[in-house]
Homo-oligomer: A and B are copies of this chain.
Amino acid sequence: MGAPELKLNADEVFAYLEEVFPAVRGRFSVLELEPMRALLRRETGPADIRPGGTVSGPAMFETADCGFYVVLMAMIGREALTVTTNATINFLNKPEPAALICEARILKLGKLLATGDATIWSEGGTRPVAHATLTYAIPPAR
C-alpha cells in the first residue's frame, strides 16, 4: 500500500466547498494542502462576534467542520453525501476578534468513516483557541 495521495488540489477543493457550503462562501481560503493535512483561514464578520469582542462558539465549530471537510474531500474526491456524524470541540482560550487559522488532520481514513482533528488559532496568535475531533461518514457506494 502506497502513501495516500490527494485526489483534489487546493483550487478544486475550494471550488467544491463554495458550491456545497454556500453559507461559508467567500470566507474560507486554503493556505496549505498536503495528503492528510490542510491549513485554512476563515474570515470572521459581525455575525461571528459576541459581546466582549470574541468569536462565537458556533463560528469556531463551523471552522473546524469545514477545515476537516476540506482535507477529507481532497483525499476522497467530490462526495456530497459525506456528512459529519460526530464532533467534539474544546474551547481553550478566548479568541481575538480576528480571522481564524485552522489546521485539520485526518487520523484515520477508512472506507466508511474518517476521523481526525482540527486545531484553531486566532490569526497572529500562538495559543490554540479551540481543538476539535470529528468523524465523517463516507457513502458506501463510491
Contacts and interface: CB of A to CB of B under 8 A. Distances in A.
Interface of A: 19-23, 47-48, 50-52, 56-59, 61-62, 65, 80, 83-94, 107-108, 112-113, 115, 117, 119, 127-128, 131, 133, 135, 137, 140
A59 B133 CA distance: 18
B112 A131 contact: no
Given A23-B48, A131-B115, A131-B117, A89 B90 contact: no
A65 B62 CA distance: 13
Contacts of A88: 86-89, 133
Contacts of A113: 85, 137
Contact of A112 (B84, B94, B112): B112
A118 to B, nearest CB: 11
A49 to B, nearest CB: 8
B86 A50 contact: no
24 contacts: A21-B56, A22-B51, A23-B48, A23-B50, A23-B56, A57-B61, A57-B65, A57-B84, A57-B87, A58-B62, A61-B87, A85-B91, A85-B135, A86-B89, A86-B115, A87-B89, A88-B88, A92-B115, A93-B108, A108-B128, A112-B137, A112-B140, A117-B117, A131-B133
Given A112-B112, A131-B133, 12 more contacts: A22-B51, A57-B61, A57-B84, A61-B87, A86-B90, A86-B91, A87-B89, A88-B133, A90-B108, A90-B115, A92-B108, A112-B140
